[in-house]
Amino acid sequence: MNQDIYVVIEHLRNQVSDISFVMLAAAHALTKETNGSVVGLLLGENNQDLVKNLAADRVIYIDHPALAEFTSDAYINTLENLINDNQPRVALFGNTSIGAEIASVLSARLDLPLISSCINFDSNAGELLYISQICGGKIMIEGGFLETTTLATMIPGGYKPEQGQSKEAPEITIVTAPELKDLRVTLAQYIEPEVEDVDISREPILISVGRGIQNEDNIELAEELAELLGGVVCASRPIVDQGWLPTSRMVGKSGKTVKAKLYLAMGISGAPEHIEGITDCKTIIAINTDPTAPIFDVANYGAEIDVLDLVEVLIEEIEEVKGE
């Protein structure tokens, strides 16, 4: 077993996802303890250019037509050999649609321990420690790494993506792909989400609605408010699941990560999947009747009041102020 930290880079449609940078940042923290290198693992077809701002000591790149788009079997078969042959100290995966499944299968196939939902790593007297979050973020678990190659999946929140980015491209080692045939999983096609009227990830002012809005009709009020403030309406998953707003407006793990200057969370409780999407927002104001709602733990300001009681008064007052 070497002391390197492997990071399985995730990319989709030629874009490296934020979680990859978070993992690279985590990997650097880990190598401080292990004194190994941070090695990025990039699988794809003609995707070499994606290494350009990865903050890795080096990147192993594997090119193969079957790796052009992510499919579980192809990725797993490729990584299987890489990990088995090299035996890194730790291999990091994202706790995502890509990383979560391949990490688990590899753990079973290679009989290696797997720690999931890691948010942070630490060390204590030479022992590597993981800190994971379970039960919707309500419970934290800490423990030590076993003395063997260990796989871990990560969630964002402990490290900033910026810490995993670099201005210089790392050196690339090209490794031949294994024979990838008779794959049991193949990609038939992508189905695009509805045409985006608005890209909420680029909007500076967001009025976000959750279950507290109660009724599809009340979203009109949020629209009015958004218009007055020059912003755009977005929502947590339950609202989109009901069909009250299109998927393009969904904020969170299954939706978009937003980086607004002002994020007004109205009637949103703050489930971890939602919080994942808003940690980069500058100012978060939360309106919720439940004082124990987790949203108040990440918000900068909060008011314990019913959205529906507040929003009409707010609209009126803003109109008055603007009228002056």
Partner 1 sequence: MSYYTIKTVLVLFTLFIAGIIFFKRIYDYLIVNLRRGQPSNVTGQWGERIKLFIVYVLAQFRLFRYRKPGLAHFFIFWGFLILSLTILFAIVEGIAAFSDPDYIVPVIGSIGPLALLQDILAVIVIIAVLYDLYVRLAEDPERYTGSHKREGVRVLIYILLIMITLLVMNGIRINLRVDPNAGWRPISSVVGRLFVGMEETTQIIVEESAYWVHLLIVLIFLIELPQGKHFHVVTSAFAVFLRDLEPRGGLHSAPEFNGDVGVSKVEQFRWRQMLDFYTCTECGRCQDYCPAYASELPLSPKLLMMDLRDHLKERGEALTKESTNTSTHQSILEKELVGDVITYQTLWACTTCYACDQECPLLIDHISPIVDMRRHLVMEGRVDAELQDALANLARYGNSFGKSARARARWARKIKPKIKDARSETVQYLWFVGDYASFSSTLTDVTKLTANIFRKIGLDFGILYDGENQSGNDVRRVGEEGLFEMLVENNMAVLSKCNYETIVTTDPHTYNTLKNEYPTNGNGRPPVLHYTELLDELITSNHLSFNKKLNYKVTYHDPCYLGRYNDVYEAPRRVIEATGCQLVEMPRHGDRTFCCGAGGGRIWMEDNPDVQERPAENRIREAAALPDVSTFVVTCPKDLVMFKDAVKTTGLEEKIVVKDIIELVGEALELIDSEITE
Partner 2 sequence: MNIVVLVKLVPDLVEELSIDASGIKLDDSWLRLIINEFDDHAIEQAILLKEQSDAQVTIIAPDIEGVDDVLFTASAKGADRLIKLTGIDEGEINNHALGRAVANEIKDLQPDLLLTGVQANDDLDGPVGPLLAEFLGLPYVGYISGVKVDNNKVVARKEYPGGLIAEMEVTLPAALGIQAAEQPPRYVAVSKVRQTMKTATIEEKSVSELDPSGSLSISKMYQPEVGERATMIDGDEEEITAQLIELFQELGVM
Q: Which residues pair with 65 in a beta bridge?
A: none
Provide the minimum distance between the beta carbon of 302 and partner 1 in the complex, in angstroms, as a whole number.
16
Nearest distance in Å: CB 309, partner 1: 8
**Site size toward partner 1, by CB under 8 A:** 7
Partner touching 217 among partner 1, partner 2, none, CB below 5 to 8 Å by kind: partner 1
Task: Map the footprint of partner 2 across residues 189-208, applying CB under 8 A.
Answer: 189-194, 205
Residues 139-198 touching partner 2, rule: CB under 8 A, are 139-146, 151, 153, 184-194
| Backbone φ, ψ for residue 36 (5° rounding) | -100, -165
- Applying the rule CB under 8 A, the residues between 42 and 71 that interact with partner 2 are 69-71
Annotate each residue in 87-116 with x if it binds partner 2 (CB under 8 A) or - if it does not, as one string.
---------xx--xxxxxx-xxx-x-xxxx
CA 44, CA 14: separation in Å to the nearest integer? 10
> Which is nearer to partner 1, 100 or 315 (by Cβ)?
315
Is position 248 an interface residue for partner 2 (rule: CB under 8 A)? yes
Task: Residue 215: name its binding partner from partner 1, partner 2, none (Cβ under 5 to 8 Å by kind).
Answer: partner 1
| Minimum CB distance to partner 2 smaller for 140 or for 174 | 140
DSSP 251: B
Four-CA torsion 208, 210, 212, 215, nearest 10 degrees? 100
283 binds, among partner 2, partner 1, none (CB under 5 to 8 A by kind): partner 2
Q: Which residues contact 3 (CB under 8 A, 6 or more apart)?
A: 31, 34, 35, 36, 88, 89
The residue whose two tokens read 């969370």 is 265
∠ CA 120-272-164, nearest 5°, is 40
Question: Are 112 and 82 contacting, i.e. CB atoms less than 8 angstroms apart?
Answer: no
- Sites for partner 1 among residues 232-291 (CB under 8 A): 242, 289
Q: Is 217 in the site for partner 1 (CB under 8 A)?
A: yes
How far apart CA 128 and CA 302 sit, in angstroms, is: 38
Residue 58 binding partner per list partner 2, partner 1, none, with a CB distance cut-off of 5 to 8 Å that depends on partner kind: none
Q: Does 306 bind partner 1 (CB under 8 A)?
A: yes
By CB under 8 A, tell whether 220 contacts partner 1: no
Query: Which of partner 2, partner 1, none sits in contact with 72, Cβ below 5 to 8 A by type?
Result: partner 2
Between the alpha carbon of residue 203 and those of residues 60, 90, 198, 208, 253, the distances in Å are: 36, 37, 8, 12, 18
Q: How many residues does the chain have?
A: 324
Which H or E run contains 93?
A: strand 90-94
Residue 289 interacts, among partner 1, partner 2, none and using kind-specific CB cut-offs from 5 to 8 Å, with partner 1
Give the gyration radius of the chain's Cα atoms: 22
- Report the site for partner 2 in 261-300 (rule: CB under 8 A): 261-262, 283-286, 296-300
